[in-house]
Amino acid sequence: MESEKTDDQLHIFFFPLMAQGHLIPIIDMAMLFASRGLKATIITTPFHAPLVSKTLQSTQLSGNSHINVNVLTIKFPCVENGLPEGCESVNMALSHGLQQQFARATTKLGPQLSQLLQQHRPDCLVADMLFPWATDVAARHGIPRLIFHGTCYFSLCASLCVHRYEPQKIVSSDSDRFQIPNLPGDMKFTINQLPDVMEDVNTEFEKLYKTSKEVEGRSYGVLVNSFYELEPVYADHYKKVLGIKAWNIGPLFLCNKLSEQKTNRGVEQECSTDQRECLNWLSSRKPNSVVYVCFGSLPYVSDAQLMEIALGLEASGHSFIWVVNEGNHVQGVKEEWLPEGFEKRMEGKGLIIRGWVPQVLILQHEAVGGFVTHCGWNSIMEGVCAGLPMVTWPAFAEQFFNEKLVTQILGIGVGVGAEKWARLTLVGVKREAIEKAVSRIMEGEEAEEMRNRAKALGEMARMAIREGGSSYLDLNAFIEGLKLHKISCDAS
């Protein structure tokens, strides 16, 4: 049932892209706003609506009954756009062709969104960056549109500067290193590391991406899942030099206080009892002795690459939890990617978990000492807050930018040596490189220094969301600004 709205209560609509890595932080954000007394409503598709409600319910059941977030449904035009019936998530559209059709289908959602805005008259719309058309829809209803990119200030600065100055157009080869103009710091990139949406290709995602950069400056502003102390130079640069209005209100996942909430974050996937078992296993291990390996919900990993990971982990000699997600590997009858006798040799030493795990709880377990990550921003925020050094293995989206933040700016990680952006695929790293990178974050002085830096940042993150902290205050400032905006609109 929809919660009642009091007269002076602000009402915010949240409209996330239908992908796990986007839904998870938006649910957190909606809960955060609701916990500050605003009315929050999430718009999503019929497939996701019950799943989102279930995730929200576990929050309410675990002692937060005052937090009330509504869910509204919008039909996703699958079949009309060449998608199989029910293909309502990026996580289901795993081929290049399906992804393009998925992107095209999202551009058809405007009229339904408009209808919901007309019916419910919220005060503001927070919509995913990949819904650039939402800015005009919101404007037609006289309400501000906020963008949620789901990444950090550093990546926002880097991608906006690439969009504005196109430095990639003046290098002679894909592996030539270049500096991004107007981006603070001495950081070099290659065309190979840029998302292909930044190149001159004209697919549906590319079109959406380009328009999203164009509307960045003419939307009301950007909500960033980061905290000021993590990247002050880039937070200031984005706002003061690049001229985008933004508020840092993260880390959003820290609003989940109880273990039930931290477990049930998957939306599309659930943790089974077996998958939770790993927490008991961790309790039998020494502090900082286990490396956690997980590549998020999306990248596909070839059999050959899975084999290299297995051998690299074994050679490192460290205990591990390695998650092989459904999205990572199309499950075959026979798992030929495992080296002969691997699981037997690893008994008691390492766990391979197929499916979805309670990542936040694993990362926060004292037995975990390092994190091998594909550099999805949610994972990095969770790794930072757990005070962990990271092996960075970027694959797609803005992950090569996120890697630079972790390794070069924050000094809390080492790159595994991934060099080429590949659409949703983890590629090209040999076992020796994996072994070496894992050893560097798990052993010796360098690892200890990275861990100490990460721990200090984790502490700053917790301070940022507390009353009086930087994210807490930025959220206040945003809410106050919105109230004033509403008053001035009502008056005119």
Interhelix angle for 153-165 vs 204-216, to 10°?
Answer: 100
Helix (H, G, I), strand (E, B) or coil at 347: coil
Q: Which residues pair with 457 in a beta bridge?
A: none
Site string for ligand UDP, 379-408 (x = CB under 6 A): x--x--------------------------
- Candidate segments 42-50, 206-214, 244-252, 373-381, binder of ligand UDP by CB under 6 A: 373-381
Q: Does 376 bind ligand UDP (CB under 6 A)?
A: yes
- The Cα–Cα gap between 418 and 343 comes to 26
- The Cα–Cα gap between 28 and 251 comes to 10
Distances (CA, A) of 5 to 1, 27, 40, 44, 63: 12, 19, 10, 20, 22
Q: Which is nearer to ligand UDP, 222 or 363 (CB)?
A: 363
CB of 410 to ligand UDP, least distance (A): 16
Residues 109, 198, 323, 442: which binds ligand UDP (CB under 6 A)? 323
Q: What single DSSP character describes residue 332?
A: P
Helix (H, G, I), strand (E, B) or coil at 70: strand
CB of 255 to ligand UDP, least distance (A): 13
Q: What angle (nearest 5°) sits at the alpha carbon of residue 208, between those of residues 194 and 113?
A: 145
Burial class (CB in 10 A: 0-12, 13-18, 19+), 484: exposed
Site string for ligand UDP, 332-371 (x = CB under 6 A): ------------------------xx-xx-----------
- Helix (H) or strand (E) run with residue 213 in it: helix 204-216
Structure-block tokens of residue 276: 């939770």
CB of 377 to ligand UDP, least distance (A): 5
- The Cα–Cα gap between 479 and 471 comes to 12
Q: Does 325 bind ligand UDP (CB under 6 A)?
A: yes
Q: Which is nearer to ligand UDP, 21 or 122 (CB)?
A: 21
DSSP for 87-121, written as a single string: --SGGG--SHHHHHHHHHHHTT-HHHHHHHHHHH-
Number of residues forming the site for ligand UDP (CB under 6 A) = 20
CB of 262 to ligand UDP, least distance (A): 9
- The Cα–Cα gap between 385 and 378 comes to 11
Residues 33, 227, 377, 400: which binds ligand UDP (CB under 6 A)? 377
Q: Which is nearer to ligand UDP, 18 or 124 (CB)?
A: 18
CB of 15 to ligand UDP, least distance (A): 17
The contacts of residue 444 (CB under 8 Å, 6+ apart) are none
DSSP for 156-220, written as a single string: HHHHHHHHHH-GGGG-SSTT--EEPTT-SS--EE-GGGS-GGGSS---HHHHHHHHHHHHHTTSS
Question: The dihedral of CA 54, 57, 58, 59: what is its sign?
Answer: positive
Q: Which is nearer to ligand UDP, 116 or 367 (CB)?
A: 367
Q: Which is nearer to ligand UDP, 42 or 124 (CB)?
A: 42
Q: What is the CA radius of gyration of the chain?
A: 22
Distances (CA, A) of 269 to 20, 96, 367, 483: 9, 23, 25, 37
CB of 177 to ligand UDP, least distance (A): 26
Site string for ligand UDP, 186-215 (x = CB under 6 A): ------------------------------
- The Cα–Cα gap between 9 and 223 comes to 20
Site string for ligand UDP, 251-280 (x = CB under 6 A): --------------xx--------------
Site string for ligand UDP, 18-57 (x = CB under 6 A): --xx--x---------------------------------
Q: Does 314 bind ligand UDP (CB under 6 A)?
A: no
Which amino acids are annotated catalytic? Answer: 22, 128
CB of 378 to ligand UDP, least distance (A): 3
CB of 189 to ligand UDP, least distance (A): 20
CB of 322 to ligand UDP, least distance (A): 11
Q: Which is nearer to ligand UDP, 261 or 379 (CB)?
A: 379
Q: Which is nearer to ligand UDP, 155 or 379 (CB)?
A: 379
- The Cα–Cα gap between 192 and 19 comes to 25
Q: Which is nearer to ligand UDP, 256 or 470 (CB)?
A: 256
Residues 294, 384, 386, 441: which binds ligand UDP (CB under 6 A)? 294
Phi, psi of 461 (to 5 degrees): -65, -45
- CA–centroid distance for 147 within its chain: 14
- Candidate segments 56-64, 216-224, 289-297, 471-479, binder of ligand UDP by CB under 6 A: 289-297
Q: Which is nearer to ligand UDP, 38 or 230 (CB)?
A: 230
User: Among residue numbers 68 through 127, which ones bind ligand UDP (CB under 6 A)?
Assistant: none
**Contact at 8 Å (CB) between 4 and 32?**
no
Helix (H, G, I), strand (E, B) or coil at 222: strand
**Which spans of this chain sit near ligand UDP (rule: CB under 6 A)?**
20-21, 24, 265-266, 294, 296-298, 323, 325, 356-357, 359-360, 376-379, 382
